[in-house]
Chains A and B, each alone.
Chain A
Amino acid sequence: MTETDLGRGRKLAMYRRMLLCRMFEERVYYMFLEGRLPGTVHQSAGQEASAVGVCSALAEGDVVTSTHRPHSHAIARGLPVNSLMAELFAKTTGCCHGKGGSMHLGDLALGMLPAIAIVGGGIPLATGQALAFQYLRKENIVACFFGDGAANIGTFHEAINMGAIWNLPVIYVCENNRYGASTAVEKVMKVKHVADRAAAYGIPGETIDGNDVEGVYGAMSRAGERARAGAGPTLLELETYRISGHSRSDPGRYRPQDEVAAWRQRDPIESYEKTLIAEGHLRSEDAGQIKASVEEELDEAVKYAEGSPDPAKEECLTDVFA
């Protein structure tokens, strides 16, 4: 664990936020199996520390761009769970009025661009948003989430290079979960770390443990400070792992069982829980209470979503640009 300025309140808030991410997705997954939820689901179980660590270091007005796996990013950014659940249920009360679904969660008013499901598609948009901040002389920054798969897409190079030459206030956050869908990262990338590529653009690059929420928070805070000061982007590589398959229809058999087991041992939520207990910030019974309150919040969200109206026929063409 890295030393940070975090007090007990913020630590517990991060812990609860990670639980909310995990339990939200579990809830969604089972409802999907039951057939209560339409569409597809890309789970991010195991990657909560990177989402929560990064978003906890953001200020009001900052913007997050996300991917096809946006649930945890949206929850970490503080979007109301009710509106996220309603979006998954394709209801009018959803954050995109039910027209985006699982892969397009977001609400620009709350600091999250609706997620971009195209791999690597969010990197130029994040760079553009950062250019807007610079042009408008705002002190805000952009946290641009993408995966290891996107690091080999052309937009990665073009957009990061552009962000670098103009010293744009954007943090390129690569959540390296070791697999682009089913392809192991070493099969498609010759350098050992995505962050090694930062040197090619003349910006700082850092590879850190993405399952250590406070470590992620610390690194993101430092990079954010730099960006707000006008010193330009940082490429942060968060080494993490998705415990589940790529999508709801992926059994993930391409991964060795012992590898999955080893990463399960490094579950970001369980290990943070242990740390908090060891630091005296949390007792086991408190943890149980927090989980119960998260369950309650989710019960409420499901009720809210199921009780919300479906979009009207006349609304088909509103909010749609192409």
Chain B
Amino acid sequence: MNRYQREKALALARRLLPPEEFERVMSIEINDLGFGFDQFGMEKESAIIAYSLARYVHKYWFRVESDGHDNIPLKGPAILASNHSGVLPIDAVMVCVDVAIKLAKPRVVRAVVDNFAGFLPWVNVFFYRVGQVVGARRNFIDLLHSGEICAVFPEGTRGIGKPFSQRYNLVKFNVGFIELSLTTKTPIVPVAVVGAEEQAPMLGNLKPLARLLGFPYFPITPLFPLLGPLGFIPLPTQYHIRFGEPIEFYREYGPKTVNDPEAVRMLADKVQLAIQDMVNQQLESRSSVFGFGEDEQYDRQSASN
């Protein structure tokens, strides 16, 4: 964005956000290289305008309920490791927005996106401007060294593109984040997201078409491709996000553990189990997928008591 566009973006954000919230998000700091961008292409104004819009989706479309924010460090590096689902990576957006909303001092969560995002025109620019980075190891290390908070989805596209019948069964985690946590001595905050699986139930996968287009999968959902691009609009399920207690493997396992693939796999499995447990707990306590009428139900319960 040029100067004029930045001013316009901030003016729009000022209209979209309550005054105190606008002041709060304006306090985010980026490692500006001199032209308003950090080395990964993040631009503060783009991130703020994206946040201002996504906040409405967070509040009114998905009506996100979340807890465990005390487990997220207010400063210094951290890795948020989350389950991943829902055809489109909206769960990642909701996690990032939730952290920005709920922390006393907002932090920009740098989600590590899949490599294929770099191929996609416009999508790649949008991702970079709002602070997301391609999942190259070096990028990850640079971010952690500069004290940023990173979100990883160790299931990768296998998680987001899994069939609806496999919902909330986490697929085997990739181990890269464990290696980086050990080498950079960074705590892992497990994150469980419930509600994303039902936003776009994946009924099928047109693999030949996906291969042709260079996508990891080509989904068939109840609305896509039936309604064309409109079919990508997710169903208004209610999201439940829980941030678990930080896992600090590096206190017990030294950086040389990365040379032991079995140990690294075991640690990744531990994180996966922790997140699976959190997901299961949330599923048990969830009374409805869409969450509509829960308030009335709650009110009725309160009144009868």
A joins B in a complex: no
Residues of chain A having any CB pair with chain B under 8 Å:
none
Residues of chain B having any CB pair with chain A under 8 Å:
none
